[in-house]
Structure 1
Amino acid sequence: MARRLLRPLRRTLLSPLSSFSKTLILQTQPSLSLQTRAYISEMRKSAFEGNLLRLLRNEIHYELDHSPPSQPASKFNSFTVDERQGEQWIRLSRKFGENEEVKVEVTMFDGSLPVKKPRKIGTEEEATLHITLIVDIYKEEWTDVLEIVCSAWPESIEIRKIFMRGRDQMAGQPYMGPGFKGLDDELQESLYEFLEARGIDDDLAAFLHEYMKNKDKTEFIRWMGTVKTFIEKK
């Protein structure tokens, strides 16, 4: 009798998986699987961020070692230069005569034109970079501002538009004046002379192109450093 009772018990104990054991494993497997997936995901994230930080550090070191930016100029001729750190433009300002103030807002490179040169096989096509200038001329006791929009090419200034606007804000739909190229040639020449007298000339264009090349590199290095610092924070 005892022997008959022991046989089924032995079969239960020695079977590969009892029903209770199967149920226990099935209940624990999902939990273990989620933990494993979370661990692998965290490891992948850590490896990805580590590689990204390595690339950023290498790029920063390369820029600083091979062609570091120079200290930006704070003056040019009669202009004071406001660098506008971290922004895509700078401002120049000066006094002219007894009652005029000239302010020039200058973008970083915002366009280009291909250089018309014979292209050699295996060489990259060169481009002439473009900078936009917005020249504002204020006069004491005047509520209006003379605004002149210009293009600065590497060695020249080109007037694009001239109009009047309010000192504080522009009216709803002001008359913007005719196209500059449509003006009388002599009038165009006189307007260029008007700007040149206030320091808006070809020398300024050359200065701005060198300044913006330096600023472009400075802002690029600053940007990489900011991204690196953000990723490093836990």
Structure 2
Amino acid sequence: MLRRAFAGSDAALLWRSLARRSLSSGAASAVDSIILRSLKEHYLEVSKMTPPPKVNPPSPYAVVKGSLDLDGPVLRRSYKEEEISISVMRLSNILPSGADDEDGDDAISQLFLHVDVSKPGQKESLHFLCGLYPDAVGIHSVCLRPKVSESSGATNMTKYEGRMFQELEQKMRDGFHAYIETRGINEKLFPFLQAWLYVKDHRNLMRWFKNVGTFINEQKPA
């Protein structure tokens, strides 16, 4: 539904018609009006969308405060002396446009998780990239990397990060799957993260309509 927010708009046709003329101040003002009207219409349309039912994350995971409005971890928990944090993104944010549309425009049925397992006193955390589905979770890669709080933001491109996960022997792959399973990384996370992403997408789109409209509508100082 979010992707269809722009569907059916005639703003593009009106824009092309006006663009053929010399953009005098009057024409430019008309273009601004067309965009602002379209932004307002879609803002109101998106604001009426029904949010998904509220879903709580599986215990003992807790939602990171402010995660809906920030980039970074969504869930966090402690496991013995370890701290585990989970970030999530849609498959559509990784694959080319249209590559994940088999289940429909708004299907959020395939998620990618970034899982960080850190220990006190260690400068690096164990990082897993996982695929999460309604009935399964799979590991795509595992490596050691600087803790988020310790990282300067630069990535050491020459550091060895281990073999490709699928190149590891089966016993080792099974061991890593058991490792994340004992820490609660499983398909039970899916319902919450699916609903969380829908709400985040909704908020981001509403914010985008509002911010773009504010920028276009802002008057130059006299």
Distance 1:125 1:53 in 2: 26
Q: Which of residues 58, 61, 68 is equivalent to 1:79?
A: 61
TM-score with structure 2 setting the length: 0.69
Equivalent residues, number: 187
Partner of 2:119: 139
Change (3 A) 1:58 1:127: closer
Runs (5+) with no aligned partner, structure 2: 1-21
Question: Who wins on radius of gyration, i.e. which is larger?
Answer: 1
| SS of match in other structure, 2:138 | strand
Higher helix share: 1
Aligned AA (2:138): E
Q: Which of residues 152, 176, 181 is equivalent to 1:191?
A: 176
Q: Matches of residues 100-139 of structure 1 in structure 2 within 5 Å?
A: 100-108=82-90, 109-110=92-93, 111=95, 112-113=99-100, 115=102, 130-139=110-119
| SS of match in other structure, 2:127 | strand
Partner of 2:27: 44
Q: Which of residues 207, 210, 214 is equivalent to 1:222?
A: 207
| SS of match in other structure, 1:177 | coil
Runs (5+) with no aligned partner, structure 1: 1-37, 117-123
**Looking at both structures, which has the greater relative contact order when contacts are Cα pairs under 8 Å and sequence separation is at least 6?**
2
Distance 1:74 1:129 in 2: 18
Give the % identical residues: 22
Are 1:165 and 1:171, in contact at CA under 8 Å, matched by a contact in 2? no
Change (3 A) 1:74 1:81: farther
Distance 1:223 1:200 in 2: 32
Change (3 A) 1:77 1:184: same
TM-score with structure 1 setting the length: 0.66
Aligned AA (2:130): C
Partner of 1:55: 38
Distance 2:132 2:29 in 1: 46
Aligned AA (1:46): S
